[in-house]
């Protein structure tokens, strides 16, 4: 059997269209296009050997080229807001020579290269076929009117005493190529193919840019992370009496 060219390649999917924030992938965030943060994170991940931006837009593709990563031109029928992740990932994987693909979401600008490396390590240690990033929340959760992680016919448990729920964040995902393609061709879907694992991501880094306020919050976090935020000192009520 011929070994793939690379064990891991990274894919950053981005459409020029956006339902909530106009052209958010190329919206400037603290001086650079938002998608550039995902590109830099992938380039800084030691286990990633090649990076591609998967997009329908030549303008977004130009950002990829300027940052010296690959530009994979997405087919038009896979670029609408009704096209599914499984569909464009299948198309991408069918044209890539790799063992697994790491999808990094361009609307998650707080993700760093070390997070990608940590996700890969977990993927390998757990011998997974699919890895999905998720954040844990200890909250009282209902689904369709029914409690999920606590009982309503007893004393209300403290949040620290209830089982956490895992919320898929899709900041970083990893799929084994062979398993994904086999599942998609058999079933028509593959996001949770083979052995699946949820990888816990830092809740702050899990922030995704969906609304205008998200841009402002992410920008302040980036400035703080780089030591450029306004000086902040906590104060308490009794101190101002």
Pairing of strands 130-137, 98-104: unpaired
Per-position pLDDT tens, the chain of length 241: 445 667 999 999 998 876 667 788 999 999 999 999 999 999 999 999 999 999 999 999 999 999 999 999 999 889 887 889 999 999 999 999 999 999 999 999 999 999 999 999 999 999 999 999 999 999 999 999 999 999 999 999 999 999 999 999 999 999 999 999 999 999 999 999 999 999 999 999 999 998 888 888 998 899 888 776 566 666 777 755 5
Quote the tokens at residue 107. Answer: 């609307």
DSSP reduced 3-state for 182: helix
The answer to whether 99 and 179 are in contact (CB under 8 A) is: no
Number of H helices, E strands in the chain: 6, 11
Reported pTM: 0.90
Check: CB of residue 169 under 8 Å from CB of residue 206.
yes
Instruction: Enumerate domains of the chain plus CATH numbers.
Output: 6-134+168-226 (3.90.550.10)
**Cα(106)–Cα(241) distance, rounded to whole angstroms?**
46
Distance (Å) of CA 53 to CA 36, 69, 111, 241: 10, 7, 16, 55
């Amino acid at each position: 059997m011929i070994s793939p060219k690379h064990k891991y390649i990274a894919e950053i999917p981005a459409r020029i269209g956006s339902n909530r924030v106009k052209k958010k992938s190329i919206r400037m965030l603290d001086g650079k296009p938002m998608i550039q943060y995902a590109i830099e994170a992938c380039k800084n991940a030691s286990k990633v050997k090649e990076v591609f931006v998967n997009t329908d837009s030549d303008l977004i593709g130009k950002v990829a080229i300027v940052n010296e990563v690959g530009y994979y031109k997405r087919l038009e029928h896979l670029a609408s807001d009704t096209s599914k992740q499984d569909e464009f990932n299948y198309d991408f994987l069918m044209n890539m020579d790799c063992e697994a693909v790491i999808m990094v979401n361009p609307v998650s600008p707080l993700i760093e290269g070390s997070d990608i490396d940590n996700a890969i390590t977990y993927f390998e240690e757990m011998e997974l076929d699919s890895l999905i990033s998720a954040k844990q929340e200890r909250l009282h959760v209902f689904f369709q009117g029914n409690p999920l992680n606590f009982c309503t016919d007893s004393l209300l448990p403290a949040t620290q005493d209830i089982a956490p729920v895992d919320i898929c964040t899709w900041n970083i995902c990893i799929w084994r190529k062979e398993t994904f393609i086999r599942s998609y061709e058999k079933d028509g879907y593959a996001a949770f193919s083979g052995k699946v694992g949820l990888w816990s991501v830092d809740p702050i880094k899990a922030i995704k840019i969906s609304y205008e306020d998200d841009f402002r919050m992410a920008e302040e976090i980036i400035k703080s992370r780089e030591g450029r935020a306004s000086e902040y000192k906590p104060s308490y009520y009794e101190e101002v009496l």
